[in-house]
Structure 1
Amino acid sequence: MKSLMKIAAVAALCAPFLAPVTVTAEIDPVVAEAIRDRVQRANPKMRLGELKESPMPGIFQAEVVGNGTVYISKDGGHFVFGDLFRVSDEGLVNLSELKRLKTRADTMAGLNIDDMIVFSPAGEAKAHIYVFTDVDCGYCVKLHQDVPKLNKMGIEVRYLAYPRAGLNSVAYRKIATAWCSDDRNATLTRLKNRENISISVCDKNPIAEQLRLGDEVIGVRGTPTIVMQDGTVVPGYIPPETMAKALGI
């Protein structure tokens, strides 16, 4: 678990991330294809997304599938990985993180909520969070024990599956059992309570897709991983009070 101090610091950074994201222009398709070909000849495993003008003159940018953003020269001869910052009178603005925030927020908002296991407040939901979870994770269990309190605060908890041991594991079969159950919420709770239940994995379940989403879009490195509505990612467990403060409740 990350220390509370570090997690609180992450939450405190939410406000600066809400600044507008610079819109980048598309580039000539012929130029883009030439750059992509040159890079992939050097490294066939490197899959570049759409090339666009970056906020830095003379430099293009593209997403590398599952591996962040690359900034590349216009001839494709040089590139760097890492975050691009804008220097302003107010301080440094992480333009790369602003872009990632929007991508994550849009991606999560576009998911089918029916593919999640959702614990909703009895009354009006003031906010919601997405949680990538694993039934064999100690801090996932601790967070799940907080769900009733989070619900009372008006926070809806939307679970997505992230079996850390992968798809060919007992962890996958356990969590898939929850998603395949007639009562998903109760089954997930029983699993997190370490109860013995019959394993039953249905053919059509969203676990593989949610695992891929966690790896390639959100950048999950452990569980629980919490995604706020604005796209902010908080790795690890945080108490309900800290969660509510980060959500502005």
Structure 2
Amino acid sequence: MRILVAIVAGAVSVAHAAVLADTSVEQRLRSVLGEALPGIEIASIRPAPLKGMHEVVLGGEVIYVSDNGRFILKGDLMDLKDKRNISDERRAQARITGLKTVPPNTMIEFAPPDTQHVLYVYTDVDCGYCRKFHQEVGTLNAAGIAVRYLAFPRAGVDSETFKKSESVWCAADRNAALTEAKAGKPVPAATCDNPVKAHYELGTRMGVRGTPALISEDGQELGGYVPAEQLIQHVRKGRS
């Protein structure tokens, strides 16, 4: 993201000159950023609490751009009066928005009879800490926390881990197949119309870099592996 911002900062003033003066601020900024970084996915643009600035959500990142499209500010925006991290709140909202696009039946869920909280987990079937986390899912379930897994094969599309993930998601019993894979046991090869690539691409847009990536139901990023008892406290508090 640091590289992205550096590129934008260098190119944005050049692109700005080509934008018509009578367009709205949002249209102007979309044009400026689009010319500076072709193909960039802008989730939203809206006025920022800072006068003369607009907030731009790029996947899981939040940046601030001057209304004239010339300057970019990268960093967290804090409200000292209300003691709020406004940027963190917007990142959480962006994660929730992204997760809402995922059909629930494409996730592998381990849930208690009476679910009180939901934890979203991007997982890699070959990741050591993912396997350690999976061993504690029963403890989380006992505390009323449902775990919803999304696939994130870190080695990327067409890797062996990606193919293994597809086999898990295409198994007749996906929960059992995932548990077997995380125990280091072979999973019979299988193919089907599966969500592994879609999960991976969404995770990439949301800024997932490692696994497990834990996201609470209110969109807070809880980090990587966290011991079950500590994680239970985080989830119950509503944030890390």
- Provide TM-score, normalisation by structure 2: 0.82
The residue number in structure 1 matching 2:94 is: 103
Residues of 1 paired with 2:179 and 2:106: CA distance? 17
Q: CA deviation at 1:42?
A: 3.7
- Residue by residue, what CA displacement relative to the aligned partner does 1:208-232 show, whole Å, maximum 9, x if unpaired? 1111111112x21100011111111
Matches within 5 A, 1:34-45: 34-45=28-39
Name structure 2 gaps, 5 residues minimum.
Answer: 1-21
Instruction: Give the counterpart letter for 2:233 in structure 1.
Output: K
The residue number in structure 1 matching 2:132 is: 142
1:167 correspondence with 2:167? no
Given that 2:62 and 2:90 are in contact with CA atoms closer than 8 Å, whether structure 1 keeps it comes out as no
Q: 1:171–1:105: structure 2 CA closer, same or farther, 3 Å change rule?
A: same
Given that 1:125 and 1:156 are in contact with CA atoms closer than 8 Å, whether structure 2 keeps it comes out as yes
Given that 1:52 and 1:60 are in contact with CA atoms closer than 8 Å, whether structure 2 keeps it comes out as yes
Q: CA deviation at 1:163?
A: 0.3
- Residue by residue, what CA displacement relative to the aligned partner does 1:143-182 show, whole Å, maximum 9, x if unpaired? 1111122222221111110000011100001111110011
1:244 correspondence with 2:223? no
Q: CA deviation at 1:31?
A: 3.4
Given that 1:225 and 1:233 are in contact with CA atoms closer than 8 Å, whether structure 2 keeps it comes out as yes
Matches within 5 A, 1:1-249: 30-64=24-58, 66=59, 68-88=61-81, 91=83, 93-121=84-112, 123-202=113-192, 204-217=193-206, 219-248=207-236
- Residue by residue, what CA displacement relative to the aligned partner does 1:179-209 show, whole Å, maximum 9, x if unpaired? 001100111111111112321122x110111
- Residue by residue, what CA displacement relative to the aligned partner does 1:100-121 show, whole Å, maximum 9, x if unpaired? 1122234324532110111111
Q: CA deviation at 1:39?
A: 3.7
Residues of 1 paired with 2:191 and 2:198: CA distance? 15
Q: CA deviation at 1:46?
A: 4.3
Instruction: Give the counterpart letter for 2:178 in structure 1.
Output: L
Residues of 1 paired with 2:232 and 2:60: CA distance? 31
Residues of 2 paired with 1:51 and 1:134: CA distance? 32
Given that 1:120 and 1:155 are in contact with CA atoms closer than 8 Å, whether structure 2 keeps it comes out as yes
Name structure 1 gaps, 5 residues minimum.
Answer: 1-27
Q: CA deviation at 1:245?
A: 0.9
Instruction: Give the counterpart letter for 1:87 in structure 2.
Output: L
Q: 1:38–1:96: structure 2 CA closer, same or farther, 3 Å change rule?
A: same
Residues of 2 paired with 1:210 and 1:224: CA distance? 14
Given that 1:222 and 1:235 are in contact with CA atoms closer than 8 Å, whether structure 2 keeps it comes out as no
Figure out how many residues of one structure are paired with residues of the other and give that number.
Answer: 216
Given that 2:62 and 2:91 are in contact with CA atoms closer than 8 Å, whether structure 1 keeps it comes out as no
Given that 2:125 and 2:164 are in contact with CA atoms closer than 8 Å, whether structure 1 keeps it comes out as yes
Q: 1:112–1:76: structure 2 CA closer, same or farther, 3 Å change rule?
A: same
The two structures, once aligned, show a CA RMSD in angstroms of 2.1
Q: CA deviation at 1:29?
A: 5.3
